[in-house]
Amino acid sequence: MTKNEIKALISLLDDNDYEVASHVEKQIVALGEGVIPYLEEEWEETLNSDLQKKIEDLIHNLQFEGLMARLKEWKENGGEDLLEGMYLVNSYLYPDVEYANITKTIDQLYFDAWTHMKEEMHPYDQVKTLNNVLFKEKRFTANTKNFHSPANSMLHLVLETKRGNPLTLCVIYMTLAQRLGMPVYGVNLPNLFILTYKLDGVQFYINVYNKGLILAKSDIDNYILQLNLNPIDIFYEPCNNLDIIRRALRNLAFSFEKMNDPEKATEVTKLLAAITDEEPPV
Determine the Cα–Cα distance for residues 35 and 71; give it in Å rounded to an integer: 20
pLDDT > 90? residue 218: yes
98 and 196: one domain? yes
What's the order of all strands across the beta sheet hosting 213-215? 184-189, 192-199, 202-207, 213-215
Shared domain for 92 and 129, answered yes or no, is yes
Same structural domain for residues 184 and 108? yes
131: in domain: yes
Q: How confident is the model at residue 111 (pLDDT cuts 50, 70, 90)?
A: very high
Q: What is the pLDDT of residues 21-58, one digit of tens each?
A: 788 888 888 888 888 888 888 888 888 888 888 888 89
pLDDT at residue 41, as a whole number? 87
Residues 88 and 65 in one domain: no
pLDDT at 51: 81
Backbone φ/ψ region at 26: left (φ over 0), alpha (ψ -120 to 50), beta: alpha
pLDDT at 108: 97
Residues 62 and 127 in one domain: no
Question: What integer pLDDT is reported at residue 280 of this predicted model?
Answer: 44
Q: What is the pLDDT of residues 221-272, one digit of tens each?
A: 999 999 999 999 999 999 999 999 999 999 999 999 999 999 999 999 999 9
Claim to verify: residue 131 and residue 190 sit in the same structural domain: yes
Same domain, 66 and 149: no
Asked if residue 280 belongs to a domain, the reply is: no
Q: Among the three residues 18, 52, 76, which one is the final residue of a domain in this structure?
A: 76
- Hey, how many other C-beta atoms are within 10 angstroms of the C-beta on 184? 25
Average pLDDT over residues 65-90: 96
* pLDDT surpassing 70 at residue 279: no
Domain-located, residue 282: no
**How many domains does the chain divide into?**
2
Q: How confident is the model at residue 277 (pLDDT cuts 50, 70, 90)?
A: confident
Instruction: Note the pLDDT of residue 210.
Output: 96
- Residue-wise pLDDT for 160-217, tens only, equals 999 999 999 999 999 999 999 999 999 999 999 999 999 999 999 999 999 999 999 9
Planar angle of CA 94, 173, 157, nearest 5 degrees: 20
Asked, for residue 35, whether it belongs to a domain, the answer is: yes
**pLDDT value at residue 213:** 97
Q: What tens digit of pLDDT does each residue of 80-103 get?
A: 999 999 999 999 999 999 999 999
Residue where a domain stops, chosen among 34, 57, 76: 76
123/35 Cα distance (integer angstroms): 51
Residues 59 and 131 placed together within one structural domain of the fold: no
Please tell me the pTM assigned to this model: 0.90
Residue 16 has pLDDT above 70, yes or no: yes
Rounded distance, CA 162 to CA 179, Å? 20
Residue 120 in this model has a pLDDT that exceeds 90: no
Q: Are strands 213-215 and 202-207 parallel, antiparallel or unpaired?
A: antiparallel
**Distance between CA 90 and CA 172 in Å, rounded?**
14
If asked whether residues 68 and 87 sit together in one domain, one would say no
Q: Is the pLDDT of residue 8 over 80?
A: no
Residues 184 and 160 in one domain: yes
Is 225 found in the same domain as 87?
yes
Q: Which residue among 52, 76, 100 closes a domain?
A: 76
**pLDDT score recorded for residue 211:** 96
Banded pLDDT at 281 (limits 50, 70, 90): very low
Share of the chain above pLDDT 70, in %: 98
Q: Are residues 184 and 200 in the same domain?
A: yes
Q: What are the residue ranges of helices labelled H in the chain?
A: 3-10, 18-31, 36-45, 49-76, 82-93, 99-114, 123-131, 155-161, 166-179, 217-226, 241-258, 262-274
Cα 214 from Cα 152, distance rounded (Å): 23
Q: How far apart are CA 167 and CA 248, in angstroms?
A: 7
Residue 281 lies in a domain: no
In this structure, is residue 215 part of a structural domain? Answer: yes
Nearest by Cα to 71 from 263, 251, 267: 267
CB 196 within 8 A of CB 238: yes
Q: Residue 24's domain spans which residues?
A: 3-76
